[in-house]
């Protein structure tokens, strides 16, 4: 299905912001992760997989595309 990306250790910084998810917020988080030097971990995920992590852990996922959806 895709991969999740985690900035290992970023949860120790606490809440980073209340920024809505967007391309702009992704760019800000990417820059923050680089500046802080957090190790970045990519984890492949398949349909049915789950992850348990702190809500304060900086993480992201690629955009998903619905295939075969009917409107």
In angstroms, the CA 45 to CA 3 distance is 5
Cβ(19)–Cβ(54) under 8 Å? Answer: no
Model pLDDT, residue 67: 47
Model pLDDT, residue 64: 55
Kindly give the confidence (pLDDT) of every residue in the chain, 71 residues in length, as a single tens digit, with 9 standing for 90 and above.
578 888 998 888 877 777 788 888 888 888 988 999 999 988 888 888 888 887 788 888 776 544 444 44
And the tokens for 22?
């967007």
H helices of 1-71, in order, are 23-36
Q: Where are the domains of the chain?
A: 2-60
Provide the whole-model pTM. Answer: 0.66
Cβ-count burial 28-43 (b if 16+ within 10 Å, e if not): ebeebbeeeebeeeee
Cα angle: 59, vertex 41, 56; to 5 degrees = 30
């Amino acid at each position: 299905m895709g991969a999740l990306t985690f900035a290992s250790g970023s949860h120790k910084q606490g809440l980073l912001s209340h920024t809505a998810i967007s391309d702009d917020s992704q760019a800000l988080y990417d820059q923050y992760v680089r500046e802080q030097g957090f190790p970045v971990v990519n984890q492949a995920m398949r349909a049915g997989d789950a992850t348990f992590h702190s809500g304060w852990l900086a993480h992201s996922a690629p955009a998903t595309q619905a295939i075969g959806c009917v409107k």
